[in-house]
């Protein structure tokens, strides 16, 4: 097996971001209009994350970006991942997403915000001033997780990130089959 390193995985991330950009655009158009709009776009984004990072991984071995750059997530023995591995790979990120989304939605539901009177950018800056002080701690922990993932990926022989160790997976380059 040839392991996929940082640059292949980074390119896959860029492709995924491009594919997901319409979702970000939709969110920016509706999230600041009402609390229900914010909740709906948050749920839509969460489903998109689950589809990309769990369902695609289970059925096709990777997100669309990984498939596009010809890399695949497999178990350490080279077999395809099952639901267990697909979920475990994303469990820490998913927990951060759920916790952060819950805190933001709860904060917004208790605020006197004037919905629809701000642009999305101004709305984001404003609601961040409303968040409780412990929110910063959660964001710091999320950043520690992110950088730890990167450091572990860069400094081990099989190019595994922390989530690969949790799930018992590795990302490999897809071997091209010679045509006869």
Instruction: Give me the mean pLDDT over the 23-43 stretch.
Output: 88
Helix/strand/coil for 73? strand
Q: What is the pLDDT of residue 177?
A: 45
Local confidence band at 121 (pLDDT 50, 70, 90 cut-offs): confident
- Read off the pLDDT of residues 127-154 as tens digits, 9 standing for 90 and up: 999 999 999 999 999 999 999 999 999 9
Give this prediction's pTM. Answer: 0.88
**Whole-number Cα distances in Å, 97 to 37, 45, 60, 92:** 18, 10, 23, 9
Is pLDDT at 57 greater than 90 in this prediction? yes
- Read off the pLDDT of residues 83-114 as tens digits, 9 standing for 90 and up: 999 999 999 999 999 999 999 999 999 998 88
Is pLDDT at 178 greater than 50 in this prediction? no
Q: Please classify residue 173 by burial: count the beta carbons closer than 10 Å to its beta carbon, then call 0-12 exposed, 13-18 middle and 19+ buried.
A: middle
**Closest Cα to residue 16, out of 61, 48, 41?**
48
Is pLDDT at 180 greater than 60 in this prediction? no
The DSSP string of 42-72 is HHHHHHHHHIIIIIHHHHHSS-HHHHHTTEE
Is pLDDT at 4 greater than 70 in this prediction? yes
Least confident of 12-16, 21-25, 43-47, 107-111: 21-25
Q: What is the pLDDT of residue 176?
A: 53
Residues 6+ apart with CB under 8 A from 11: 65, 69
- Read off the pLDDT of residues 62-80 as tens digits, 9 standing for 90 and up: 999 999 999 999 999 999 9
Domain locations along the chain: 6-173
**Closest Cα to residue 44, out of 24, 65, 68?**
24
**Whole-number Cα distances in Å, 119 to 44, 106, 123:** 20, 21, 6
Tokens 């990309």 belong to 52
Mean pLDDT of the chain: 92
Instruction: Give me the mean pLDDT over the 16-33 stretch.
Output: 88
């Amino acid at each position: 097996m040839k392991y996929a390193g940082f640059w292949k995985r980074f390119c896959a991330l860029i492709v995924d971001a491009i594919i997901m950009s319409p979702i970000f655009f939709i969110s920016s158009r509706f999230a600041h209009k009402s609390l229900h709009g914010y909740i709906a776009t948050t749920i839509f984004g969460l489903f998109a994350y689950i589809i990309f990072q769990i369902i695609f991984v289970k059925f096709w071995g990777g997100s669309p970006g990984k498939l596009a750059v010809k890399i695949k997530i497999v178990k350490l023995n080279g077999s395809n991942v099952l639901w267990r591995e697909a979920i475990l790979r994303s469990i820490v990120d998913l927990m951060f997403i759920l916790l952060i989304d819950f805190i933001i939605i709860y904060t917004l539901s208790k605020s006197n915000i004037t919905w629809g009177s701000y642009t999305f950018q101004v709305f984001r800056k404003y609601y961040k001033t409303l968040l409780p002080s412990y929110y910063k701690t959660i964001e710091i922990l999320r950043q520690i997780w992110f950088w730890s993932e990167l450091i572990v990926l860069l400094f081990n022989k099989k190019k595994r990130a922390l989530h690969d160790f949790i799930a018992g997976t590795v990302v490999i380059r897809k071997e091209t089959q010679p045509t006869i």
